[in-house]
Structure 1
Amino acid sequence: MGEIKYEIIEEISAFSESTKGWTKELNLISWNEREPKYDIRDWAPNKEKMGKGITLTREELIKLRDVLNKIKL
């Protein structure tokens, strides 16, 4: 498997942090020099490592927002 290249275009928000300092974040990222997508995943301090995550297009993110807004908490 080849090297994965990424560029964080926009750091949007970190919304949780583990006791080891990893943060769960929503960012806009370009993977392998492709069109940027919204990305939710865990990041180690200083972004030197990352966990598994999910990428979403703008349209998917809007649909997810709409679904989340319907949840009664």
Structure 2
Amino acid sequence: MSALAPAETSARLLIAVLFGALIGINRDLHGKPAGLRTHSLVALGAALAVLASARLAGSGDHQADVVSRVAQGV
């Protein structure tokens, strides 16, 4: 994967936070303990891990491995 432009990287991180926030809002509305902030930060961290792995190692098996490890950790 080639290096992403700063605007594209920011957009991807923002989209991740927005989707995490949507899940968090739903949980807040249902009175669950982990809500908006928690899910927004988890989504941001996962997106950062995937983007960092893509930048450091390129595409291929390594990136898929990082994605699976993030999913296992969450």
| Fold match by TM threshold 0.5 | no
Which structure shows the bigger proportion of residues in helix conformation?
Answer: 2
Quick one: higher RCO (CA 8 Å, sep 6+), 1 or 2?
2
Which structure shows the bigger proportion of residues in strand conformation?
Answer: 1
Normalised to the residue count of structure 1, the TM-score between the two structures is 0.29
